[in-house]
Chain A
Amino acid sequence: MYKWMIIKALLYILLAPVIGGLMSGLDRVFSARMQGRQGPPVVQPFFDVNKLLHKQTTVVNSIQVLFVTVYLIFTIFTGALFFAGGDMLLVFFALSMSEVMLVLAAFSTNGPYSIMGAQRELLQMMCYEPMTLLVAIGFYYANGSFMVDELITKPVPAIVQIPGFFIGFVFILIIKLRKSPFDLSTSHHMHQEMVKGLTTDLSGSNLALVEIAEWYDTVLMLGIVGLFFINNNPISRLWAIIAIAVVFFLETLIDNLFPRVKYKTMLIVTWSVILVFAGTNLLILNVLK
């Protein structure tokens, strides 16, 4: 059993950056087509990261590198834990820990844009943290386990019982995938009031590490989206992939439709959405139980 877990984790570690990079490329193509542009080739993100890796790295201080490295390692660890079939709650705890490391990397630079990005990133975490924990709880309510490898063997997919949690989760994915209107801390589009926010003072291979970590993170997040649809029937995996594609497209669409909002709006809106959809869903489940 342990052997299978390790193999699954290794597969994630090897394949996730490829898939994540392609997703990121697809995202850029989608966006370009929505805006009536040709857009870059799908593999552009790989070229970018490759270039970053070969540039001379300048750092503001030496701790910065340490934090970024820990961030990458723990992001990979988190994803590997999820795809190996680990405990959902532990996955989310480890995830917020790795995010804190990225924030600390930004804090350590003492640059105004980095620190502004770091504060905003923390606020973003405060916005989505309740929902990530609730997702784990929702799966537990629906299928009676926190372990991913047990959740995928249940007869009924979780989405049937916890649609509210799904809506809430897709909503906070806007924050997680750094999409407008909630891309407060750093955006994929440069030259704005916050420069590059969180990653302003990262360069060269450090920035490449952050990019790679985000690919891993994207795959993890979309994996959770898929988990809502998977049951013991192999065909359900196809549904999961379709759902992932739809959600990913939706996120890109939202990114292109809405301008960035202020942090207060983000806090009020996300917490209300979580409370209304996931909270109500939780109450109903509790009554039915």
Chain B
Amino acid sequence: MFWQISIGENVQVRLLFVLNMLTAEEITEIDHEIALVPIRRAACIEALKIVQQHRGWISDESLRAIAEYMQMSPEELDSVATFYNLVFRKPVGRNIILLCDSITCYVMGYEKLYEHLKAKLRISFGETTADGRFTLLPNACLGTCDHAPALMINNELYRNVTREDLDGILDGYK
């Protein structure tokens, strides 16, 4: 990305910002996905996933960098990115709590877990703790209804969760 600054007449300074370019590692991973599909842009969701894996979320700058690499406009990519609920277009905390709010967990009392999390972390759904430790998100059915209520933190699934369990579980995430 270039910014051009004019200092007086005909004197121009160009600054190159590399902060938001894709890293070599990201590009390698994206290239792998591109090779698997007949149309380059078909790999765009994979590209979003890869960059999110590395950066935690997809900033506007990341989005533009991915779009350029995928030979798409930022609009075309953002149209896809904003459709899916697990592409994070806003910053998230170090750990993401996905609390299942679907039907069996409702029956089994997820709302009590939510109340507990709200009180303990002082955040509601969609929010991040002030220290950036947790982002709390509601999530549709986690497919483990015989062990409801359930939640996921990052890649870990927790089942038959009780209010009493919660504190211990959260302690494992810094």
- Do these two chains really belong together in a complex? no
Q: Which residues of B contact A (CB under 8 A)?
A: none
Q: Which residues of A contact B (CB under 8 A)?
A: none
